[in-house]
Structure 1
Amino acid sequence: MAAIDNGRHIRRCTTPACPSTGATMACPSCVKLKQREPLGFEDSPGVDFYCTQECFKSHWAEHKKKHRPWGALIDEWEKAHPVALEKRMPEAFNGYGDWTGSLRPFARGPAARARLESLPSSIARPDYWKTGQPVSEQQEKRTHGIKVYSEREIGLIREACRVGREVLDECGRAARVGVTTAEIDRVCYEATVERGAYPSPLNYYNFPCSVCTSVNEVVCHGIPDMRELEDGDILNIDVSVFKDGVHGDLNETYFIGTPDIDSLRLVKTAFECLEAGAAIIKPGTWYRDVGAAISRVARANACSVVRTYCGHGIGDLFHTAPNVPHYAKNKATGIMKPGHVFTIEPMINLGTYRDRTWPDQWTAVTVDGKRSAQFEHTFLVTEDGYEILTMRQNEPTMLWDLKKQLRL
């Protein structure tokens, strides 16, 4: 730890047996990992300092443990602190992140391995379920072609999307003040398995849960944890399922309790941005034009469009061609044709469009800490327009209904 003395840092050498208080040599690995040195935490995981090279070398075997991946550190902490006893990560973990808003990491729910081990043998699994590596996706990226699906394949995708819609609606009903996102993850897993499907995010590039839950300033890929949802939060729930060899993907942003005026504007704008992108889907439309349609709506409502993440082709692969950017003046290639299946999922921010990723390598947040909202559907290009494969059966078109969004 460091103390402040007349504005000057007095740092003790990290080597336990060394009495020196004149440590000036920072561990280069700590600096490279951008681990800031927080003041006042006995167990701070910030930058360690040493007085001499000899001290550094003698303590290296113990010190290097600090450089392990974030996920491994959390796993160790959770084993030592049962979730039932303590939900919040210790303040020392704050030294690992340059947090932009009020959210902080909490203890997670059951790890992917526990979910995978309980998966019924009858459930078909994608190729990454065990290794975390979507090999088929990685190999397909070399072809760059946009697949035209057959009627039989479209039927399978339509069914996967129908199941995804049912699962998302179950998750949405569970989302309320006082509920944890880990509980929503449990609901998602059980609802998906009950319908004979596999939750697509589970172990995809080692993602540890069955659903993405993104709260407030989280743009996307939030990992479910033991933080209880609070009145005034907004929550995006992103559900994807794998059934009969194909994926379906959709998400919605929910109000938790009573929203403020800016959150209402943001979420309504996100919905209208998806609506605007969908409106131009038809054979002959360039994929790059979707972003211009979305950006016009965002600008008109004093919001911005995230550029890091985009919509994507989906079907027998979770993510494939085409890429569908949501911002104007992008360089996406390809023209829509009947039989194409893809998602549009604009992430809309109250502040700047820029984002950054937490040390867990998944949670993307706005750089200014302001809120972000998103809606997503999976679309099929038809001969004269499009079909929303993930729409509720009694809602063939998208309409903003505030009462429905508030669940009144």
Structure 2
Amino acid sequence: MVEIKTPEQIAKMRAAGLVVAAMHAACREAAVPGATTKDLDEVAAKVLADHGAKPNFLGYGGFPGNICTSVNDVVVHGIPNRETVLKSGDIISIDAGAIVDGWHGDAAITVFVGEGHAPELHELSRVTEESMWAGIAAMRKGNRLVDVSKAIEGYIRRQPRPASGRYGIIEDYGGHGIGSQMHMDPHLLNYVDRRRGRGPRLVPGMCLAIEPMVSLGTAKTHVLDDEWTVKTDDGSWACHWEHSVALTEQGPLVLTAPDGGKAKLAEYGVTAAPDPLA
């Protein structure tokens, strides 16, 4: 069952999305050499408290952090801890979520720690982020879910191959519906699997968390003994970008982007929906 939101409910999700954006801004600033991933978790917790919001990650299935902190070859679901100390040259995916008045926001960014990153890492992050925006631009009334998957995969496949030889589009994890819960139907693949059909038609009131995860090698992953941390099978580094998006009668609204997605969607010839909280 796909949950269809009213404009009033989307406005509450926008409020949650802006808290997530504030979490990311604070964590990006705190992601410096010498900081631990637990330090970032505490920064995120303070932002949540300052906004009177609740974390949607903490306690979810037993997860022990307010955010997920995934470093280098960790794709997703890295657990914040005191032992993981960031160093110059690392990359870290910061996946954050918030609940406001019972409605959820969820987004992820990839941050470059310090200096000394290989050009192919910058390109990996660019390709992953831009594929997300291509998917968001495909979230239009009348399209189907597969059109979002097709836009994400198509963007990645059109890019020049990295020195490693390929971009791996992570297979076992993808986007999802979001609203009164963090994870809801439908599941969104970041590639086209024709066995799954075209998926539901996109209609106003649908909200999706669109989140490509891409590596510099394999698409295959495994979960560590902590039952959360997901790593690439070949140790290749990975990037993760995510936004929560609502489809409205006026077009897509990127709930977790400070400007509602206006600037980036314009690059794709798409007009973002008006911000209900503006």
TM-score (norm 2): 0.88
Code of the residue aligned with 2:187 in structure 1: it is N
Q: Give the 3-state SS of the residue equivalent to 1:205 in structure 2.
A: helix
What is the Cα deviation at residue 394 of structure 1?
Answer: 8.2
The residue that corresponds to 1:85 in the other structure is none
Q: 1:146-177 CA deviation, whole Å, 9 max, x = no partner?
A: 11111221111111111111111111111111
1:105-254 mapped onto 2 (5 Å cutoff): 145-226=1-82, 227-254=84-111
SS of structure 1 residue aligned to 2:145: coil
1:283–1:384: 8 Å Cα contact kept in structure 2?
Answer: no
Match of 1:291 among 136, 149, 152: 149
Q: Given that residues 342 and 380 in structure 1 are in contact (C-alpha distance below 8 angstroms), is that contact kept between their aligned partners in structure 2?
A: yes
For 1:345, the equivalent position in structure 2 comes to 211
Task: Assess, with a 3 A threshold, how the Cα gap between structure 1 residues 148 and 324 changes in structure 2: closer, same or farther.
Answer: same
**Counterparts of 1:244 and 1:255 in 2: how far apart (Å)?**
33
User: Which residue number in structure 2 is paired with residue 307 of structure 1?
Assistant: 171
Asked whether the equivalents of residues 282 and 384 of structure 1 are also in contact (C-alpha less than 8 Å), the reply is no
**Does the 8 A contact of 2:104 with 2:179 survive in 1?**
yes
Aligned equivalents of 1:291, 1:304: Cα separation in 2: 15
Which deviates more from structure 2 when the two are superposed, residues 297-306 or residues 189-198?
297-306
Q: Deviations over 1:34-56 (max 9, x none)?
A: xxxxxxxxxxxxxxxxxxxxxxx
- The DSSP-based 3-state class of the residue aligned with 1:393 is coil
The residue number in structure 2 matching 1:359 is 225
Q: Which residue in 2 is equivalent to 1:137?
A: none
SS at match of 2:263: coil
Q: How many angstroms apart in 2 are the aligned matches of 1:165 and 1:284?
A: 29
- In the TM superposition, 1:89-104 aligns within 5 A as none
Structure 2 unaligned spans of 5+: 162-166, 266-278
Identity %: 34
Quick one: distance in 2 between partners of 1:314 and 1:387? 14
Does the C-alpha gap of structure 1 residues 321 and 388 become closer, same or farther in structure 2, counting only changes over 3 Å? same
Q: Distance in 1 between matches of 2:51 and 2:185?
A: 28
Distance 1:384 1:326 in 2: 25
Determine if the alignment matches structure 1 residue 329 to structure 2 residue 187: no
Alpha-carbon shift at residue 384 of structure 1 (Å): 4.5
Q: How many pairs were matched up?
A: 255
Matches of residues 274-285 of structure 1 in structure 2 within 5 Å? 274-285=132-143
Which structure shows the higher strand fraction? 2
Residue 235 of structure 1 aligns to a residue in which SS? Answer: strand
SS at match of 1:198: coil
Match of 1:184, as an amino acid? L
Where 1:337 maps in the other structure, the secondary structure is coil
Q: Which runs of 5+ in 1 are unaligned?
A: 1-144, 400-408
Where does residue 252 of structure 2 map in the other structure? 386
Aligned-residue CA RMSD in angstroms? 1.5
Greater RCO, CA 8 A, separation 6+ = 2
Counterpart Cα distance in 1 of 2:153 and 2:245: 19
8 Å CA contact 2:253, 2:260 repeated in 1: no
Q: How far apart are 1:398 and its partner, in Å? A: 2.4
How far 1:311 sits from its partner (Å)? 0.8
Once the two structures are superposed, residues 326-380 of structure 1 have per-residue CA deviations (whole angstroms, 9 ceiling, x without a partner) of 1122516211100111110000111011111111110001000001101111111
TM (norm. structure 1) is 0.61
304 and 298 in structure 1: CA distance in 2 versus 1, 3 angstrom threshold: farther
| Larger Cα-atom Rg | 1
Question: What secondary structure, in the 3-state scheme, does the structure 2 residue paired with 1:398 have?
Answer: helix
Cα distance in 1 between the residues matched to 2:143 and 2:189: 14
